[in-house]
Amino acid sequence: MANPQHTVVLEGLEPDGRSDYTIDATGQIDMVDGMLDGVNVSRDSDAPVTGSTTEGTVWAGADGYRVHGAIKSIDIENPSHVQLRVNKMSAPVPPVGEECQVTIRMESVDFISGQGAGEGALELTIESDVHGEQSATESVRLPTGSSQNIAQSIESFQVPVGRSLTKQLTTKVTEREVPSDWFTGNDDYGESTTDIVLQCGEPKTVSQEVTISSDQGNPGKVRVNYTIGDLSR
């Protein structure tokens, strides 16, 4: 079961100020016996809990609950006889020193646009560079309108749970010209840089679009896709 999200304390203000109440929530309700939000609460037999709804009576003492999910309603018969406290609980703090391994992986490349009539396919060299860390280079042949899987890991980092690490990622793309392709001229080049955030949890996709310059005045464009996250999940 997930951690409770709210606490509810109903404290009777007068010894003879009896009041019935009903709490309705979207999740499980747990009655507490002991200290809750600085108030000594007791588990009473007259306050049965059934799933996400509880009914009870409070007068001289206090009743307290931990609520999973959202609180839909709290109905109090005599509000002037009851001090109501509702608090939202803080997210649990992960254990000190707990970490996960976050990997940056060059996943695939997509053809967006070519450079002209002489381009049957793009002959590419893609270099992915994590600034101050590792880099990886991959050569691919990318026919018009196609995508190419790569799945090459670049670097992994240990990241504390609940925190994040920011790195800069630069993608450099060179289009290599084959000797017989005289129409297209010299090798063309483009690059793109972005900040990436590394944190524990489900892997996410980050894409960089790179415009490839051309001495013919008709630049091409590709999209390089990365998976970033804990790939051991």
pLDDT tens column, 65-81:
999 888 999 999 988 88
pLDDT given at position 180: 45
For 161-209, write each residue's pLDDT tens digit. Answer: 888 999 999 999 998 765 544 444 577 889 999 999 999 988 999 999 9
DSSP label at residue 80: G
Q: 32: which residues sit within 8 A by CB, 6+ positions away?
A: 7, 41, 43, 64, 65, 66
What DSSP string describes 9-69?
Answer: EEEESSTT--EEEEEEESS-EEE--EEETTEEE---TTS-EETTEEEEEESSSEEEEEESS
In our burial notation (b when 16+ CB lie closer than 10 A, e otherwise), range 133-166 reads eeebebebebeeeeebebeeebbbbebebeeeee
Q: In the chain, which stretches have pLDDT less than 70?
A: 1-2, 44-50, 90-96, 115-120, 177-185, 215-218, 233
